[in-house]
Every structure is written in C-alpha cells, then in structure tokens.
Structure 1
Amino acid sequence: MRLKSLLLAVTAAAALCSGVASASTELIVNGNFESGDYGQINWGGHQLQGWTTAGYNFLFSGSNVDHGGTPGSYGNLQLWGPNNGSANGLQASPVGGNFVASDGAFEVSPLSQTVNGLVAGQQYNLTFYWAGAQQSGFSGATTEQWKVSLGGETQSTAVKNNVNHGFTGWQKETFTFTATGTSELLSFLAVGTPAGVPPFSLLDGVSMTAAVPEPQTWGMLGLGLGLVGFAARRRKAKAA
C-alpha cells in the first residue's frame, strides 16, 4: 500500500510538471496592443495600456497605417503602402488588429513594460512578430532592427535591409531570457538607419511564458522518484 501511495504521488507530480510546461501563465499585459489610443504613444493623451515610452512610437490599426495615418507631435503619420502609392505588400501582422511602429533614428526611446511574477533563475521564452517599414513622404533605402532587454540582459534581432518605399514582411522571433528577480523591465528599442529617411520597426504579438517548469516543481518530482526507488529496494530486500 505504501508503494502504491508513493506511485500515486509521483504521478500527480508528473502531471503537475506537464501542466506547467504546456500551459504556462502569460506574463505580458496587452501584448497584442488591442487596448490603447491610436497615435503617438504617451503624447497628447494617447495611452497604450501596460506600456510606456517617451519616443516617436505610434499605435496603428490595420486600416489607418497607409490611409489617413495616426496623429503625432509633427502631424499625422503614415507608412508607405498600397493606399498611398507603394505596392510593397504592407499588411497587418499575423495576429491581426493593432501594432506598434517605432522610429529607429529620430527621438528614439524604448517601449517598456515591467513584467511581474518572475522566478529568479527561471528561463522565459519571449516571442513576438516584427517587420520593417518606412514613413510615407520620404524616399530611400533603410535598415530596421529591434534591441530587446529584460533586466540587464539584451538580445537583438537581425538587421533588415529595406528597399525604397519598402516593407520587409512580418516574421516571428523567439528569445530566451533568464530572470534575476521577481519583477524586471522588458523593453523594445527600435534601431534604424539613416536618420533622414525615417526607418520604422513594427511590433505585435508580444508574449512571455516560462520556458520549463519552475525548479521547485522538478524538485518535487525528483524527490518522489527517489522515494519510490528507496521503497522498492526495501521491499526487494525484505522478500529476500
């Protein structure tokens, strides 16, 4: 009976580990940017729930990105696309809805959020969709990139080379970070060239979850397996 009880405990611990691995808690608030005011973020009363910035960063919908534009401190801003003279294939992100566009060479400032509920020493997978675009009304080739930081750790996407009036297309990126505390600052900093031809890095679908079950969960499973092995050896010795 003792051995049976131990086996049941180990099975329960294994199920817990599986549940943590397959259904990790989402740690990002408003990662799809659906809760916010269209326009330059944190300017003129425009807010983006869960996020802060002091730079030339904008919230767009799929409909106003190349038609009508969205308001900012220097007037309405559009990106080059089919509705304003460029057949570059500009489209909404794979997750649809709103997305952020950040100038990587003018009034540059990161888009940031404090992530809570972390476990020090735990690894976390950060995934997001991103693309390169250009401000309508300007001409010339550009480059776009994101530098992404969690606490003191920074990782960078590849640099995208963008043709005149171009759009690079969306791609999915995954970075793995190790937390050093229970709360850390996550930031996305757009980096682009040249300054005179506004390069915009686009962002959507930001998500962060634990990469593996938390250390204490694995510890519970290891302890249970050890107890089962010990009990089995005792039963074998007793039978002999």
Structure 2
Amino acid sequence: MRIKSFLLAVTATAALCSGVASASTELIVNGNFESGDQGQINWGGHQLAGWTTSGFNFLFNGSNVDNGGAPGTYGNLQLWGPNNGANNGLQASPVGGNFVAADGAFGVAPLSQTVNGLTVGQQYNVSFYWAGAQQSGYSGDTTEQWHVSLGNQTQSTVVKSNANHGFTGWQKETFTFTATSASEVLSFLAAGTPNGVPPFSLLDGVSMTSAVPEPEVLGMLGLGLGLVGFAARRRKTKTA
C-alpha cells in the first residue's frame, strides 16, 4: 500500500510537470494564417484575419505558390518552384497549409497584430517558421531576412543568401521579448536585396506564449513535489 501511494504521487507530479510546458496561453490570433484570402493582403478585398499590412505581402498555399500564383496589384504573383521551372525544393512550411510571403525590397511594410493580455515585465517567447524565396519571372541571387518587433523592441533573424531561382528551406526561430505594456504590437518586417530581383521572406506558424510557467502552474507543481517528498519520508519512517 505504501509503494502504491508513492507511485501515485510520482505519477501525479509527472503529469503536473508535463502540464507546465502546455499551460501557457497562446496569445496570437490566426498564427498559422489559415483564415484568410489567397492573394495580396489588404488589397482588392483580400483579408488575413487578425493581421494588418499595407505592403506587398501575399497569402499563399502549397498548391498555388508556383502554379497559378496569387492575385495582387500587378496580376498574379508566383514564387520560383518545381512547377514553373526551378527544381529548388520549394515547399509549404512544416505547419502546412497557408503561409505569408513578403517582398523585402519593394512595397515593404510590416505584417502586424496587436497582442493583448500581457503582463508588464513578463518575458514572452515569439516563435515562427521562416524561409527565403524569389519571385518567378526574375533572375539573380538574393538575400532574405525578418525583423521582428514587439512594441519598441526589435530582433532580427540571420540574413539568408539565396542562389538564383532558389529556395533556402524552412527553419524555426524563437525570440524572447519583455512586455512593457498590457497591449503591444507584434510585427514582422521583411528585408531583402537587391531591389531588381524581388526577394521574398516566407512566414508561418507564429506563436507567442509566456516564457516562464504561470504562477498557478508553479503552485500545482510545488504541491506535487511536496506529495512525493511526503510519501518518501513516510515510507522511510515506516521501514526504519
């Protein structure tokens, strides 16, 4: 019976520990970009739920990005990929479905969302998937990068070098910011070179959560650890 009680306490604590990682509340609306119209965002009636922009930024899915493209100010826009003559491995993000492609050298403007419910002084992790690509119909080497801001704080990804008609592949990035207000604007600004060979920075899977466990979760974890300690002491006392 004593062993059973000890094992139950250990199991309960393990469950609480695993809950610490998942207890943080997701603060981003439509971070996977699944709710939106294919095409240039905020142009011609095309919307992306939860996000605003005035730039040359597009919403794509895995099937139209290099096959038909998405409508915009200057007609349908495609990125170089296997379906239009570039065997560069272009693919949708690890999240799947829709993703954003932002021109980093023309009509540049941030993709933004106001995040509410922040605690001043609290750290938050902003994670996302990103890659570099190029607009179909143009040739030449490019570079791609993202500048990520929360309020007046900005962090940047590395600069990716992208060969002619290329695709860099996706990678995951996580930045940690400290909230200075209960509501702050999270923004993603593409940066690329050169102007004459449109570089596009791709984005998907945006998430923002607290960087440390919430107080109530820590309290539950402490209670669980206390139960394990009590069970261990009781078992040791009765076997002495």
Q: TM-score, normalised by structure 2?
A: 0.83
Q: Does structure 1 residue 100 correspond to structure 2 residue 96? A: no
Q: By how many angstroms is 1:214 displaced?
A: 4.0
**Map of 2:78 onto structure 1:** 78
Give the Cα–Cα distance (whole angstroms) in 2 for the partners of residues 80 and 18 of structure 1. Answer: 42
Give the Cα–Cα distance (whole angstroms) in 1 for the partners of residues 157 and 136 of structure 2. Answer: 24
**Map of 1:109 onto structure 2:** 109
Contact 2:23 2:217 in 1 (8 A): no
Report matched runs for 1:19-168 at 5 Å: 19-168=19-168
Contact 1:140 1:165 in 2 (8 A): yes
Give the Cα–Cα distance (whole angstroms) in 2 for the partners of residues 135 and 170 of structure 1. Answer: 17
Q: By how many angstroms is 1:218 displaced?
A: 6.0
Contact 1:144 1:191 in 2 (8 A): yes
**Map of 1:10 onto structure 2:** none
Give the Cα–Cα distance (whole angstroms) in 1 for the partners of residues 184 and 17 of structure 2. Answer: 25
| Count of matched residue positions in the alignment of Structure 1 and Structure 2 | 212
Give the Cα–Cα distance (whole angstroms) in 1 for the partners of residues 89 and 20 of structure 2. Answer: 39
Q: By how many angstroms is 1:220 displaced?
A: 10
Give the Cα–Cα distance (whole angstroms) in 1 for the partners of residues 165 and 85 of structure 2. Answer: 9
Match for 1:94: what amino acid? Answer: P
Report matched runs for 1:158-237 at 5 Å: 158-214=158-214
Match for 2:182: what amino acid? Answer: T
Give the Cα–Cα distance (whole angstroms) in 1 for the partners of residues 21 and 32 of structure 2. Answer: 22
Match for 1:60: what amino acid? Answer: F
Give the Cα–Cα distance (whole angstroms) in 1 for the partners of residues 214 and 16 of structure 2. Answer: 11
Percent of pairs with identical residues: 84
**Map of 2:3 onto structure 1:** none
Give the Cα–Cα distance (whole angstroms) in 2 for the partners of residues 140 and 87 of structure 1. Answer: 15
Which stretch of structure 1 is more off in the superposition, 160-169 or 19-28?
Answer: 19-28
Q: TM-score, normalised by structure 1?
A: 0.83
Q: By how many angstroms is 1:213 displaced?
A: 2.4
- For the structure 1 residues 18 and 105, does the alpha-carbon distance in structure 2 shift closer, same or farther, using more than 3 Å as the test? same
Give the Cα–Cα distance (whole angstroms) in 1 for the partners of residues 160 and 150 of structure 2. Answer: 22
Q: By how many angstroms is 1:60 displaced?
A: 0.2
Q: By how many angstroms is 1:181 displaced?
A: 1.1
Match for 1:175: what amino acid? Answer: F
Contact 1:17 1:218 in 2 (8 A): no
Unaligned runs of 5+ in 2: 1-14, 223-240
Q: By how many angstroms is 1:18 displaced?
A: 7.2
Give the Cα–Cα distance (whole angstroms) in 1 for the partners of residues 142 and 63 of structure 2. Answer: 24
RMSD: 2.2
